[in-house]
Structure 1
Amino acid sequence: MISPALNMLLLLLLVLLSFTYDSQAQRVSGRRSNGSCVCEMSSNTLSFPVVKYEAVLEQVQSCEGSLNNLQDQVMFSIQRLPQIQAVVENVTAQLEPFQYLHYKGLYTALSLRLLGEDLTQLEADIISLHSQSNNAQTQELSKEVGKLRKDVERMKTSNTVNMKAVKEKLRYLKNTAESCKSIPKDFRGRDRYCLKGLITNISNPIITKVGPLGKTYISGSWGKQAQVDSHGQKSSYWVQTLLSSHIYGNTLRVYQNYEDFMASVNYKDFTFASSYSDSKTIEGPSAVLYGEALYYHCYRSADICRFDLNTNDVKRVTLPGTGVGFNNKFPYCYYDCRINSDVDVEADETGLWAIYATMGNHGNLVVSRLLWDSDAKMLNVSQMWETRLFKKAVSNAFMVCGVLYATRYVDEYREEVFYAFDTATGKEDNSLALPLEKVAKGVASLSYNPTNRQIYMYNDGYLLAYQAFF
C-alpha cells in the first residue's frame, strides 16, 4: 500500500513529466456533420511516457525503502543514546585520576623522586657489598645500577623510558643484592637435601586429627617446634587456635611430645595477651613456635611479635615496605579469602621469615627475613625480597631451604603447590604441580618444619601433616 505522501509525490512527478515533452500545434480542417463540427487529429505527439514513469516509480519506491531504513536506525540510536552516554560518563570518571598526565607528563616529580631514593639506597648497599667482597657479581651489579641511573635521569627530561621496565629492573637488582648479603654461603651445605633443588613430591597426609577445641574453630596454626638446635622445646608440638571471630587469639597450647599431642594429654596453655583487642593479641593464622618463643602477626599492625615462653615478654618489629597490608588488606585468597591472613610467619633451615604483601609492590608477595638478637633482646628484619606473584592469587605459602612456595585451590579435597621463588638466586618457577590432599575445603595455614621435613596444614579445624621429598 502506497502512503499518502508517496501519492502526492507521484502526482507531482506526473505533472512534471507532462511538461518535460515538447508539444507541437496541429492545423486540422473540420466538416459539418449533423449540425456539428467534426475534426480529426493525431495523438502521436501526446503519447504518455510510460517507460520513464515506471523508472521514476521504481526510484521513488527505492527511496521510500531507504528512508524507512534510515528512520529505523535513527530510532534505534535514540533508544541507545542513554546507554552510550552512561558508558562515556563511566569511562570519563575512571580516567579522571589520570588527567594530570595530559599536562604534567607521564612521570610525576613525586614518583621520580621516590624512584631516585630507592636507587640511591640500592647504590649504597652495593657499595657496601663491593667493599666487603670485591668479586665479579658485585662488579656486575655496580654496572647494572649505573645503567639504571642513566635511565632514571633520562626520565626526568623525556617520556621515552618505560617506568614499569625501570621498576622491574630495580626490583630484580634489589633482590640480587639481598641474596648477596643475606644467606650464609654454607646454609645449603648444612642440609644436603637442600642442594638437590626444589621439592619434588609431597606425601598424602600422615597425620589427620581434629583440633583440640573441635572442628568448629576453622582458623589457626599448628606444628612441631621448628628450631633445629633448640633444647628446651626440642620435641614439642603446639596448636594456636583463633577463638574470636576466627581472626584473633591470645592463647597457645604446647604438648611435650608427639604421643601427648596425639592423645591430647599433658599440655600447657600460655596466655600472651590480656584480651582479644590487646596490642599483643595474634591476628590471623600466622604463628610458628621456634625454639622457646612463639612468633606471630601482632594485632592490627604491620608488626611481628615474639612471645617468650619462659619470661612471657613480648618483643616486636615493624615489617619493611611501603604500605604493608594488614587488617584484611591482602589476605590469602585464590578461591575463598581466608579472613585477616595478611601476614604469615614461617620457619625453615635458614631461620625465620615473614610473608606478606605491600602497596609499594602492587599487592604482590614480599618475603622478609627475621632475626632474633639474643644479646640485645631485639627482633630485627635483615632483608626483604619482592616477588611478582599477587598475594590474593594464592591460597597459602610456606618456606623451605630459603625458597618460597605458594599454593592454589584445586577442589574441595586438593590444593596444589604451583610456584616457587628462590631467595638465594632471585629466580621464580611457576610450573610446579605438587598436590596436597586435604579433608576440608579451606586452608587456614601451611608451615614447613626443618627438623623432620614435614608440612603442617590447619584445614578448617583439622590438623594434617605431610612429608616433603627432594
Structure 2
Amino acid sequence: MESSVLSVQTATFFLTLFSQCVSGKDCVCELNILQEPFPMENLDSILTEASLCNRSITLTQLMEVDILMLGVQRRLDQLEKSVSVLENEDDGDLYGAVTLRIIELELAEILELAAKLKKTFSLHKNLSESMATKLQNMTDCMQELEAFDLLHEVNKQRENQRIKRELSECQHELQATSLPPTPRPRRCPQGQLVNVTSAKTYSLTQYGTSYVYGAWGKDPKPAPGKEDMYWLVALTSANAYANFVRHYSSLSTLTAGIRPVDATIASSNPTTNTIIGPNVVQYGDALYYGCYNTPSVCRFNISTLSVTNTPLPQNSGFNNKFPFGHLEVIYKYTDLDFATDESGVWVVYTAPDNFGNVILSEIIEGSPPSLGRTWRTSLHKRTATNTFMVCGVLYATRFLDKQMEEIFYSFDTETSEERYDLRIHIKKMQTNIQSLNYSPRDRMLYAYSDAYIISYDAVFQ
C-alpha cells in the first residue's frame, strides 16, 4: 500500500489532497478545501434590502419639496398683490372687510402649505438618514463577501464597468459636439413620415395661461453639457414680442417651473433685435427668430449673448402681412417660420412676387448667418397653420376642427415634388397650435398650443 499527501496553498485558500493506493485495487483520493462555504444567505439579504430601498424612494418624493416650495412662492406673490389692493383701496371701507377676509384665507393657505413643507422636510430627513444607514450596512456586508472572491471577479467586473462607463461618456461627448444626427440627408434613413402619436407631454409652464403665444423644444445640435436641456420662449409682451429665452435642465423642471436660466437678448421689450412672433427655434446653441419690425433673420448666440442678422430678399412679408391662420383665427406675426431638421436650420416666408406662396430658404450657420439655397412652392402661406422640416422635406399643417390638425402638404427639396394628399392627423389638446417644430435628436414634434407645451412622437415607415 502506498500513500501520499500533497498540500497546495494559493492566494487565500488552502487545500489538502490525500491519496491512498492499495496494491491491485483502485486508488482513493480525498480532497479537503480549508475554506468556509460562501454565505449565499447574506447576499440574498443584501439584494432584498437593495430592492426595498429602490421601492421606498420615488420620483414623486424627490420633486415633492420643489413643488411645495413653488406653491408657497406663488401664494406669497398672490398675498402681496392682495395687500397692495387693500393699501390702494379708497372706498370708504366698503370693501375693506372683504379684502381683509381674502388676505386672511390666503394666509391660512400659506400656513397650511408651510406646515406641510416642514413635515415633508422632516420625513425626507428621516428617510435620508435611514437610507444612509442601510447603504452603509450593505457596503460593509459586500466588503465582507469580497473575501470569498478568490479569483478577484468582483474587481474585474468593476474595472470593466468603469471602462464601459468611460467609453459611454466619451461617445456621448462625441455625439454632443458632432454635426446633426445624419449629415445632409436627402431621404430619411428612418423612412417616410406616416403618422403622429397622441400627446406625450401636455403641461402648462410656470407662466400659466398668461401667454398664449410661444415656442419650446430641444436643441438638435447642443453645446457640450447641454444635451438634456429644454428651451422655452413665451411672447411676454402683447402676445407678440419677447426679449429672452429660458432654459431648463430637464423636462420635470420645465413643467414644474423651477430653476430656469434666462439668456436676455435686450433690456427692453420690444426694441431692436428682440423676438417678434412665436416661430422660434434653437440650433447649435443659438436662437433663430424673426427680428423686431424688419424682414430679417436674427441669430442670438446664447453663450456670448450677442445678436447678428441677415435680411430676407426684398419685399418679403413681415408685420402680419402673410401670417399663418384659419377661418376663425390669424396667428399674429407668423410671417417668418423657422424650422430645424437633420441638416440644419430653415426659414419659411413669402413675398408678393410669389403671390403669397411659401418660399423656403436654408440658413447657413455663421455670425452673421446667411441664406443658402431657396425654393419657391405653390402652397399659399395663409392656407396653412404651421410648417416644419424633416430630412429636407417641408411639411405644412392646416386646421380641421378644435380637436384635430392635419399635415396635408409636403415639398421635397431634393426632387421639388409637391404633395397635397398626406392626411396625417394630429390630435390636439387645445384649439390652436401657435408653433410646431421637429427635433431630429429624439424624432419628436414640439408644439406650443394656447399656452400649453405639448410633444408628439413622429412615426416613420
Per the TM superposition, whether the score is higher than 0.5 is: yes
* 3-state SS of paired residue (1:194): coil
* 3-state SS of paired residue (1:262): helix
Residues 62-103 of structure 1, C-alpha deviations (whole Å, 9 max, x = no match): xxxxxxxxxxxxxxxxxxxxxxxxxxxxxxxxxxxxxxxxxx
> Are residues 1:319 and 2:312 paired?
yes
- Separation of aligned partners in 2, 1:372 and 1:188: 17
User: Does the CA contact (< 8 Å) of 2:206 and 2:255 recur in 1?
Assistant: no
Deviation at 1:287, TM superposition (A): 1.0
User: Does the CA contact (< 8 Å) of 1:189 and 1:195 recur in 2?
Assistant: no
Aligned partner of 1:194 among 188, 191, 194: 188
- Separation of aligned partners in 2, 1:192 and 1:387: 18
Alignment-derived partner of residue 222 in structure 1: 216
Structure 1 residue identity aligned to 2:353: G
User: Does the CA contact (< 8 Å) of 2:272 and 2:292 recur in 1?
Assistant: yes
Q: Give the fraction of aligned pairs with identical amino acids, expressed as a percent.
A: 37
Deviation at 1:291, TM superposition (A): 2.2
User: Does the CA contact (< 8 Å) of 2:205 and 2:256 recur in 1?
Assistant: no
Deviation at 1:277, TM superposition (A): 2.8
User: Does the CA contact (< 8 Å) of 1:221 and 1:285 recur in 2?
Assistant: yes
In structure 2, relative to structure 1, the CA distance for the partners of 1:349 and 1:418 (3 Å cut) is same
Deviation at 1:300, TM superposition (A): 1.1
* 3-state SS of paired residue (1:291): coil
- Separation of aligned partners in 2, 1:211 and 1:365: 32
> Are residues 1:272 and 2:265 paired?
yes
Deviation at 1:292, TM superposition (A): 1.4
- Separation of aligned partners in 2, 1:305 and 1:208: 29
Alignment-derived partner of residue 116 in structure 2: none
Deviation at 1:420, TM superposition (A): 0.3
> Are residues 1:464 and 2:457 paired?
no
- Separation of aligned partners in 1, 2:411 and 2:269: 35
Deviation at 1:333, TM superposition (A): 1.4
Alignment-derived partner of residue 282 in structure 2: 289
Aligned partner of 1:236 among 229, 236, 244: 229
Aligned partner of 2:293 among 286, 291, 300: 300
User: Does the CA contact (< 8 Å) of 2:242 and 2:270 recur in 1?
Assistant: no
Alignment-derived partner of residue 250 in structure 2: 257
Alignment-derived partner of residue 407 in structure 2: 417
Structure 1 residue identity aligned to 2:257: S
Instruction: List runs of 5+ in structure 2 lacking aligned partners.
Output: 1-179
In structure 2, relative to structure 1, the CA distance for the partners of 1:352 and 1:311 (3 Å cut) is same
Structure 2 residue identity aligned to 1:202: V
Structure 1 residue identity aligned to 2:218: K
User: Does the CA contact (< 8 Å) of 1:232 and 1:291 recur in 2?
Assistant: no
In structure 2, relative to structure 1, the CA distance for the partners of 1:193 and 1:404 (3 Å cut) is closer
* 3-state SS of paired residue (2:374): strand
* 3-state SS of paired residue (1:243): coil
> Are residues 1:407 and 2:397 paired?
yes
Alignment-derived partner of residue 357 in structure 1: 350
User: Does the CA contact (< 8 Å) of 1:364 and 1:391 recur in 2?
Assistant: yes
- Separation of aligned partners in 2, 1:188 and 1:224: 17
In structure 2, relative to structure 1, the CA distance for the partners of 1:379 and 1:411 (3 Å cut) is same
Alignment RMSD: 2.0
- Separation of aligned partners in 1, 2:308 and 2:188: 31
Deviation at 1:188, TM superposition (A): 6.4
* 3-state SS of paired residue (1:203): strand
Residues 153-210 of structure 1, C-alpha deviations (whole Å, 9 max, x = no match): xxxxxxxxxxxxxxxxxxxxxxxxxxxxxxxxx9967769814543101000000011
Alignment-derived partner of residue 369 in structure 1: 362
Aligned partner of 2:431 among 435, 441, 462: 441
With normalisation by structure 2, the TM-score equals 0.58
In structure 2, relative to structure 1, the CA distance for the partners of 1:189 and 1:308 (3 Å cut) is closer
User: Does the CA contact (< 8 Å) of 2:183 and 2:343 recur in 1?
Assistant: no
Structure showing greater radius of gyration is: 1
